[in-house]
Amino acid sequence: MCFIALFYRVVPDYSVVLAANRDERFDRPSQPPHALTPTVFGGRDLRAGGTWLAVNRSGLLAAVANIGYTPLRSEVRSRGLLCLDVLQSASTREAAQRLRDEVHLHPYNDFNLLAADRGGAFVATHWGERLVSQALGSGVHVVGNSTPDDPADGKSCRGRLLLSRRPAGLEEALELARVVCRDHGGPDGAGVICVHHPASGTVSSTIIAVHDHDPSLHRYLHVEGPPCQGQYAELHPFRSGKRISNLD
């Protein structure tokens, strides 16, 4: 996951609205969002078994993005498995403690992990041997592949610029999220959010709106492949029916 944007306590009845693009090598296999467990819904990385983004029935959402400052270590535990661990929690407070415990028990490559529900939100940055957590207040927050609020991160700066207008309601927030996830950068080509390279790029895009009280009213929009080339389909993670209508 390389671009994560969170509307926190901006939309009535939906304290958590998140838009995210997953950037990855094209040869890394994965499964699109589905029921990972009876209480967790999201995509699965088939190489390591974890997830880059998922939501649980309690209304807790978690997403992880790699940080590329230090060399990767092949022997450490998958960051996607850590994301799944966090989603065993019933609240962000419990998630923060579980995250600290897991990082104490296992080594990981560097990451940003964002967790949010209607009761709270935080982003935790693991860099080297340090884990630093930052509580997130009401508003729009953008997380990418560098430390939060890094002015040198062109993608995050571009995302904050595009999300500077406050949406009037849920549908406007969802449309704004689609536009941001499909963005190819500014006039100078800087800050590309929908990424295209020969061997890697944006392999999927997901927009999730978590209803404050009723899991059946969650909105879960997903497109496989770059979002600029496909239509978002709506999934229903905690309803008995499974599919799905095109929204574009």
User: Could you state, in chain order, the average pLDDT of each consecutive group of 10 residues for the chain (248 residues)?
Assistant: 92 98 96 96 97 96 88 89 97 98 95 97 92 96 86 91 94 98 93 96 98 93 98 88 46
Three-state DSSP string of the chain: CCEEEEEEEEECCEEEEEEEEEEEECCCCEEEEEEEECCEEEEEECCCCCCCEEEECCCCEEEEEECCCCCCCCCCCCHHHHHHHHCCCCCHHHHHHHHHHHHHHCCCCCEEEEEEECCEEEEEEEECCEEEEEECCCEEEEECCCCCCCCCCHHHHHHHHHCCCCCCCHHHHHHHHHHHHCCCCCCCCCCCCCCECCCEEEEEEEEEEECCCCHHHCEEEEEECCHHHCCCEEECCCCCCCEEEECC
Q: How much is the pLDDT for 28?
A: 96
Q: How much is the pLDDT for 169?
A: 96
Q: How much is the pLDDT for 56?
A: 96
Q: How much is the pLDDT for 53?
A: 98
Q: How much is the pLDDT for 196?
A: 96
Q: How much is the pLDDT for 245?
A: 44
- Domains of the chain (ranges; CATH) run 3-246 (3.60.60.10)
Q: How much is the pLDDT for 69?
A: 65
Q: How much is the pLDDT for 49?
A: 96
Q: How much is the pLDDT for 189?
A: 86
Q: How much is the pLDDT for 248?
A: 62
